[in-house]
């Protein structure tokens, strides 16, 4: 089962990802065939619909073979309630999935890998949101990349609108937010700050592959550059 999860996390499966938002539910005395413990349902069919409710055919999502879910409750008659990201779904298991009891260590590893996959997905969404503005106009004091924006206005707009994270307005005050990290620790979505001596005067967002996106100058606008086109004086993780 560990191998199935690692393969799923590499492919970025969304419906099949087990995102743990609350502690696991004990299966003691809540349905036929279950004893006390934690259970996992692994889809064995080529594809199966997960419904929004047991009594409705309205589909929440479709899962493929190998998708794995925490079982919240055995409803009997071939149905189980499962955790799907931050909500619940209803899976017909007969002929579609295998339900197995899971050990504590294995479950802890699955939780850790699922949490990492969730964070990675969130960071990529923020990067994708930022990259749509490449080619936009630089405007000193601007706060909207659709009409013209400066460096800190750009990072503030992207993080507030792409990730729901409130940010200060200037690059110097943004540098005081989040947690400082080293260059070998930085991840997509982290902020890189540049300056002269001790004064910070520019900010960019790391997008991976050794590159940043930033509102650069009036002549170049919003562009992608190597992360070390200047030596950053500070790198900050504001996404957690």
- The single residue of 151, 167, 186, 191 carrying the catalytic annotation is 151
User: Please, which contacts does 215-220 make with residues 24 or more away whose CB atoms are closer than 8 Å?
Assistant: 215/136, 215/138, 215/145, 215/149, 215/150, 215/151, 215/153, 215/154, 216/138, 216/151, 217/138, 218/138, 218/139, 218/140, 220/138
Segment holding 11, helix H or strand E: helix 2-11
- The single residue of 136, 148, 214, 237 carrying the catalytic annotation is 214
Cα dihedral sign for 21, 27, 28, 31?
A: positive
- The single residue of 16, 188, 202, 222 carrying the catalytic annotation is 202
* 18 belongs to the catalytic site: no
* 202 belongs to the catalytic site: yes
* 130 belongs to the catalytic site: no
Rounded to whole angstroms, the Cα distance separating 159 from 21 reads 23
| Residues carrying an active site annotation | 151, 202, 214
């Amino acid at each position: 089962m560990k191998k199935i999860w690692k393969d799923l996390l590499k492919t970025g499966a969304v419906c099949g990802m087990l995102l743990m938002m609350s502690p696991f539910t004990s299966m003691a005395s809540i349905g036929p065939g279950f004893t006390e413990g934690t259970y996992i349902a692994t889809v064995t069919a080529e594809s199966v619909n997960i419904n929004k409710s047991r009594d409705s055919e309205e589909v929440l999502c479709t899962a493929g073979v190998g998708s794995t879910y925490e079982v919240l409750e055995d409803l009997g008659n071939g149905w189980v309630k499962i955790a799907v990201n931050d909500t619940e779904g209803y899976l017909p298991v007969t002929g579609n999935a295998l339900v197995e009891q899971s050990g504590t260590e294995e479950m802890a590893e699955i939780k850790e890998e699922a949490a990492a996959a969730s964070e990675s997905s969130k960071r990529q969404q923020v990067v994708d949101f930022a990259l749509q503005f490449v080619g936009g106009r630089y405007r000193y004091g601007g706060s909207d990349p659709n009409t013209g924006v400066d460096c800190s206005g750009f990072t503030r707009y992207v993080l507030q609108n792409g990730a729901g994270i409130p940010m200060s307005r200037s690059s110097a005050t943004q540098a005081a937010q989040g947690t400082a990290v080293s260059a070998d620790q930085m991840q997509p979505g982290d902020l890189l700050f540049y300056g002269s001596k001790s004064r910070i005067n520019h900010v960019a967002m790391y997008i991976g592959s050794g590159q940043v996106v930033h509102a650069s100058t009036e002549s170049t606008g919003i562009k992608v550059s190597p992360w070390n086109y200047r030596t950053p004086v500070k790198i900050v993780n504001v996404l957690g």
